[in-house]
Amino acid sequence: MKIFLTIAALFILVDVLFVGYVIYRRFRKKVSEAKILEIQSSWKEIIREKDMSHAILEADKLLDHALQLMGYRGNLGSKLKRAHRLFGKNINRVWAAHKVRNNIAHQMNYKVDEHTYRSSMLAFKEAFRDLKIFN
């Protein structure tokens, strides 16, 4: 009888921990209205940037910042892995844009063409929409 009660208590504990984890994941921190306005303002500055490579680097940093405000930790790659459900079908485009950022940062003489710039920036913009930061 003691073993049965111990096993039952263990299952209850696991259930409580699992439900707590699900609730935590579902109700992550919301970004405050002031921070949303700050991110929107930063985005407007980024899209005015003349240097396409620099604009992509800054957009990537801004997405990293937004996810940090939502409670995600680690580098942007880790955050994207944990937050992938927030982006729906757009997640692959966000990853592609992040990879462009990595190419800019880590490859000597990497040149961003107009098409790559536009698709990367659109992916970042859609990511902010997915996060409810842009309308």
Give 17-65 pLDDT, tens digit per residue.
Answer: 666 555 545 545 688 999 999 999 999 999 999 999 999 999 999 999 9
Residues 24 and 55: their CA atoms lie apart, in Å, by 34
Q: One-letter amino acid identity for 10?
A: L
Number of domains in the chain: 2
Residues 110 and 126: their CA atoms lie apart, in Å, by 25
Residue 135 forms part of a structural domain? no
DSSP 32: P
Q: Is the pTM of this model over 0.85?
A: no
Q: One-letter amino acid identity for 78?
A: S
Domain residue limits at 19: 1-30
**Residues 110, 118 contacting (CB under 8 angstroms):** no
Considering the domain architecture, whether residues 76 and 13 belong to the same structural domain is answered as no
